[in-house]
Amino acid sequence: MPNTQQAPTTPEAPAPGTPPARRPAAPVLLCCTALLCAALMALHTVIPNAALNLGSLFQTLLPWTGLAVPVLLVLAAVRRSRLAAVAVLAPALVWATLFGGTLTDRRSTGDGLTVLSHNVDEGNPDPAGTARALAGAGADVLALVELSRKSTPVYERELAAAYPHHAVLGGVGLWSRHRLTEVREVPIMPWTRAVRATADTPGGPVAVYAAHLASVRVTAAGFTTDRRNEAARALAAAVRAEPAPRAVVLGDFNGTYRDRALAPLTSQLRSAHREAGDGFGFTYPAGFPVVRIDDVLVRGMTPLASWTLPATGSDHRPVAARLRQ
Shared-domain flag, residues 83 and 132: no
Shared-domain flag, residues 128 and 64: no
- pLDDT tens readout for residues 271-293: 999 999 999 999 999 999 999 99
Shared-domain flag, residues 60 and 148: no
In terms of C-beta density within 10 A (0-12 exposed, 13-18 middle, 19 or more buried), how is residue 121 classed? Answer: buried
- pLDDT tens readout for residues 25-76: 789 999 999 999 999 999 999 999 987 899 999 999 999 999 999 999 999 9
Q: What is the mean pLDDT of residues 140-164?
A: 98
Shared-domain flag, residues 117 and 99: no
* DSSP conformation letters of 230-289: HHHHHHHHHHHT---S-EEEEEE-SS-TT-GGGHHHHTTSEEHHHHH-BS----BSTTS-
Residues spanned by the domain of 118 = 113-324
The answer to whether residue 12 is domain-embedded is no
Shared-domain flag, residues 198 and 236: yes
DSSP-assigned letter for residue 9: P
Shared-domain flag, residues 273 and 141: yes
The answer to whether residue 5 is domain-embedded is no
Shared-domain flag, residues 292 and 224: yes
Shared-domain flag, residues 241 and 303: yes
The answer to whether residue 301 is domain-embedded is yes
The answer to whether residue 10 is domain-embedded is no
Closest by CA to 279, choosing from 317, 252, 306, is 306
Let me know: does 315 contact 283? Beta carbons within 8 Å: no
Residue at a domain's end among 103, 129, 146: 103
- pLDDT tens readout for residues 68-117: 999 999 999 999 999 999 999 999 999 999 999 999 999 999 999 999 99
pTM of the predicted protein model: 0.89
Predicted confidence band at 19 (pLDDT cuts at 50, 70, 90)?
low
The answer to whether residue 39 is domain-embedded is yes
Residue at a domain's end among 69, 103, 137: 103
Euclidean distance between CA atoms 295 and 283, whole angstroms: 9
